[in-house]
Structure 1
Amino acid sequence: MLLTLLGASGGAVYSILTTPKYQATTALFISVRTSGDSTTGELVQGNTFAQGKVKSYAVVAQSPRVLEPVIEDLNLDVSAKALAAQVSTSSPLDTTVLEITVSDGDPVMAANISNAVAASFSNVVVNQLEAPTGGQPSLVTIEPIEPAMVPEVPYLPNTRVNLVLGFLVGLALGLGAAILRHVLDTRIHGPQEVQVVTEAPVLGGIGFDPEAKKRPLIVHADPRSSRAESFRALRTNLQFVQLDSGPRVFVVTSSVPGEGKTTTTANLAIALAETGARVAVVDGDLRRPALADYMGLEGAVGLTDVLIGRADLKDVLQKWGRNDLFVLPAGRIPPNPSELLGSAGMAKVIAELGKTFNFVLIDAPPLLPVTDAAVLSKFTTGAIVIVAAGRTKRTELAAALRSFEHIESKVLGVVLTMLPTKGPDSYGYGNYYGGYSDVDTSKPQLKA
């Protein structure tokens, strides 16, 4: 649209900046004189001769021999070559009519030059070029049939043509740019691009919220919002994953930082707890922990202390809200996160949580910068990969998923975040807008 508007505007600007040009045309009839008792054949022969001559006369009309007298008569300050560039000639097909057209910035001058060129041309042809020897009159006659008139409107610029041409050029450039951008754009915008990279199902879609940083726990802060309903839809789909008996322990990770994995993990945990399930959410990001801050909890003591034997698991689990939701913060940042997360102690912690809780969600670091999430997935049911729509590239997601190829774990599904709420890339989750909600909001919501 922008390039189309620029093209049309360019056509308008070109029309404004172009110096107006006017055209005036003189039409001359050329014939060959015959005697009064000429036969039909002689008349046809004379007409054919005149038609053949017209092609040569069109060149003569632009010659210096014709134009120099015009320059002298009108006191023009131009050369014959420059004046010839202003003069054009034409002849309608199968006629002996010669049209002499002159263009000039002055409409009056255009008409005067056209008439002057016609008069000079007639004199040169009749009295010089076609004059017979012996002083006999020329057999060629040239008569003006339509003298040049002063034009009222310029022929240049043609504003309508310039606008249409500018519009079409801008439209073509805009379509070309849009197609090129689409072809070169490797970012994931919706489920279709995800399906190109992996066969893992899309478990849900979370719409983009510019206020997400101010209200990260949207399921708790605004339970009737469409975004909160998106997390409940994700919860419903997750309940159909891994239906076999056994603990439901999931690693939540992403390809690169900033895709919303911690926010998704926290809100999904709250949504699961709303159903009456016992839920534990673990901050497994021992490099840049953020879960405790999101949940409004003290995170000085946590998973790191349990893994090094400085604290018991039951002592560092913190209850959150009124439901059976417990949070295990990361604790202090260790110098060897990968070793701790891949240790037998971590396997023991996950096994113990799996026996105690219906759902265990582990917020893990992104896959591409570090291998922590892949290491953790060995001890869990599987991984849930968060993908930010419009940010994550297909190559990044493919490289992240390759981290699981040599590990006895699998990708259970993909969750799209930051989806546009309108347009072709919007997703069909969370369209209730304050309608149905399985949270009793008539009662005040407890804070952590």
Structure 2
Amino acid sequence: MDFKQFLTVLRRRWTSIVTIILLALGVSAAITFTRTPMYESKTQIFLTVDVRDTTDAYAALLFASNRAASYATVVKSTELAERVIDQLDLDMTPEQLASRIDAEVVESTSLIQITVKDENPRDAQTIADVTTEEFTSYVAGLETPGGSTDESQIRAQITDKASYNASQVSPDVVLNLVVAALIGILLGIGLAVAREILDRTIRTADHVAELTESPVLASIGFDGDIRSAPLLTDLGGFAARTEAFRLLRTNLQFIDLDHQPRCLVITSAVPGEGKTMTSTNLAVALAQTGRNTLIIDADLRRPRVASTLGLDPAIGLTTALVGKTEIHDAIQVHEASGLHVLASGAKPPNPTEILQSKITHDLIRRLRSSYDMVIIDAPPLLPVADASVLAKLADGVIIVVRHAKTTKDQVNEAINRLNQVGARLYGVVVNMVAKRAIGSYYYYYYEETSPSGRSGKSDAKAPAGSGRRRA
């Protein structure tokens, strides 16, 4: 993953990163603001050695420095804590008091700095005062031999009295929140990168390029109004979905300049990718240019083309195949676009056998010769073999994948099935693309122009009528 891809991952998954950061800040804030504020008081003690001879001064200094390390530990001793508790009548155990006292030796000196923490700043100062006083007398007792009347050679003198600090030292709100934010950023970025590495769904044109040399012919953005306005005839001429299908229509003209496709199978790897809506709107877009276009609903298991166009689904392909109606009577016309439609007809018990039959092959060949373009809406490739059967009859196949839902493994298996029957994959249409991800797909763009040089776009808006039978 290079730096550009890393930035793309951050942009794509910024919501999860922000969520982790906010979660980390929330946990830190909860812990910080529920803890009891602590205040501290500091005092300092200087250890000296009583020497008469100046030649012994250096040795005395080393001796005092070595002793200072030992006495820093004594400050936290149980016996000294008991003395302070008795002196102040504190309601705590020696161990509890010792845990609030800290002592350290100032580097290269015989100075001991004592720090006392407490919930109350004034109590912290008082405890620090008494601790230093008890410590100085305690040192004198330790350094005086038992029963001896001699004075101790080591003396502990208070150089800095216990300080008073009204500002809490813990918890440190700012520090805790900054650390939490940094941890949240690292965890969020790590999670985003991990999800990207483990994510097997199709999200960019590069993902498609990993699976096939066929191009991404178009990316169709997610449209929340697709249920109420499923067809291009329900939209304005400059709607984003309209432009996407115009682009798909135009790109089809440049797939094979020597052999222009006249029969296309549109399918998907698995159900729910939007292949019926794609095939229907592509057929509408082709019909709007004046091309004699027919769409065949060959999904005999879950037919939806007729209902999408507002036409009668009962009469169509199967009724013509069994001879209940003539083919020209089974074809309906969508009035708003002029598209010819061959619905699925009655659902048969053996769809694959019907599509494999010679009569079906002959029928599609006849229809192909009668129209400028025939679009076949086929079932998904992976669940059933129907699409593979139909793919052999067409010039090529377009696979519809759903952005961030269809996996690479599913698309790869679908392409393998097409290769097994010798079908040609013209390209891929990525459907339901989030707005922020539209730029992740790159495809050929050719501006449609009329003979006058103006853009061949129309802003006509017509409702999808119920249609009429072809005369």
CA offsets 1:106-150 (integer angstroms, 9 cap, x no match): 222211221112111111222443458752222222211101023
Name the structure 2 match of 1:165. 179
| 3-state SS of paired residue (1:12) | helix
Does the Cα contact within 8 Å between 1:242 and 1:248 map onto a contact in 2? Answer: no
Q: Which residue of 1 aligns with 2:56?
A: 42
- Contact 1:126–1:140 (Cα < 8 Å) also in 2: yes
| Ranges in structure 1 where 5+ consecutive residues have no aligned partner | none
- Taking the aligned partners of 2:127 and 2:30, their CA distance within structure 1 comes to 30
**For residues 319-354 of structure 1, what are the alpha-carbon distances to aligned partners after superposition, in whole Å with 9 as ceiling and x for unaligned?**
233765311111111111111111111111111111
Structure 2 CA distance for partners of 1:254 and 1:6, relative to 1, 3 Å: same
C-alpha distance after superposition, 1:388-447 (max 9, x if no partner): 112111111112222112213221111111112224755468999xxx863544697784
Q: Is the 8 A contact 1:226 1:431 kept in 2?
A: no
| Match in the other structure for 2:200 | 186
Instruction: Output one character per residue of 1:77-123: Cα deviation in whole Å (capped at 9) or x when no partner.
Output: 33333322222111111111111221122222211221112111111
In structure 1, C-alpha distance between the alignment counterparts of 2:437 and 2:461, rounded to whole Å: 36
Once the 2 structures are TM-superposed, how far is the Cα of residue 292 of structure 1 from its aligned partner? 0.9
Alpha carbons of 1:154 and 1:323: their partners in 2 closer, same or farther (altered >3 Å)? closer
Deviation at 1:275, TM superposition (A): 2.3
Over aligned residues, Cα RMSD in angstroms? 2.4
Residue 102, structure 1, aligned to residue 116, structure 2: yes
Range moving further from structure 2, 273-282 or 353-362: 273-282
2:452 matched to 1:438?
Answer: no
Q: TM-score, normalization: structure 2? A: 0.88
1:46-76 Cα deviation digits (max 9, x unpaired): 2122111111111222223323222211112
CA distance in 1, matches of 2:130, 2:213: 83
Tell me which residue corresponds to 1:21: 38
Distance in 2 between residues matched to 1:86 and 1:446, nearest whole Å: 80
Residue 293 (str. 1) matches residue 310 (str. 2): no
Contact 1:20 1:154 in 2 (8 A): yes
Q: Distance in 2 between matches of 1:133 and 1:76?
A: 32
Q: Is residue 386 of structure 1 aligned with residue 386 of structure 2?
A: no
The letter for the 1-side match of 2:333 is K
Alignment size in residue pairs:
442
Q: CA deviation at 1:242?
A: 3.6
Contact 1:223 1:437 in 2 (8 A): no
- TM-score (ref. length: structure 1): 0.92
Percent identical residues: 35
Establish whether residue 367 from structure 1 lines up as the match of residue 385 from structure 2.
no
Q: Please say if residues 8 and 163 of structure 1, whose CA atoms lie closer than 8 Å, have aligned partners that are also in contact.
A: yes
The equivalent residue for 2:125 is 111
> Structure 2: how far apart are the matches of 1:83 and 1:312?
100
CA–CA distance in structure 2, aligned partners of residues 322 and 77 of structure 1 = 89
> C-alpha distance in 2, partners of 1:424/1:444?
27
CA distance in 2 between partners of 1:90 and 1:230 (Å): 73
Secondary structure at the aligned position of 2:71 is classed as helix
Tell me if structure 1 keeps the 8 A contact 2:216–2:441.
no
Instruction: Measure the CA separation in 1 of the matches of 2:202 and 2:29.
Output: 39
Q: Give the match's secondary structure for 1:142.
A: strand
**What residue is the counterpart of 2:67 in the other structure?**
53
Match of 1:346 in 2: 360
Alpha-carbon distance change, 147 to 131 in structure 1, aligned in 2, over 3 angstroms: farther
- 2:250/2:446 contact within 8 Å kept: no
Partner of residue 399, structure 1: 413
The whole-number CA distance in structure 1 between the counterparts of 2:329 and 2:260 is 25
Mapped to 1, the partners of 2:446 and 2:203 lie a distance apart of 19
Is 1:328–2:342 an aligned residue pair? yes
Q: Partner of 2:224 in structure 1?
A: 210
Q: Which runs of 5+ in 2 are unaligned?
A: 1-17, 448-453
Matching of residues 301-320 of structure 1 within 5 Å: 301-320=315-334
- Distance in 2 of aligned mates of 1:133 and 1:300: 118
For 2:461 and 2:21, locate their aligned partners in 1 and report how far apart those are by CA, in whole Å. 55
Name the counterpart of 1:254: 268
Name the CA shift for 1:239/1:317 in 2 (closer, same or farther; >3 Å): same
Shift of 1:240: 1.9
Matched, 1:70 2:87: no
- Cα distance, 1:273–1:144 mapped onto 2, change above 3 Å: same
Q: CA deviation at 1:222?
A: 2.5
Question: In structure 2, what is the Cα distance between the partners aligned to 1:431 and 1:200?
Answer: 17
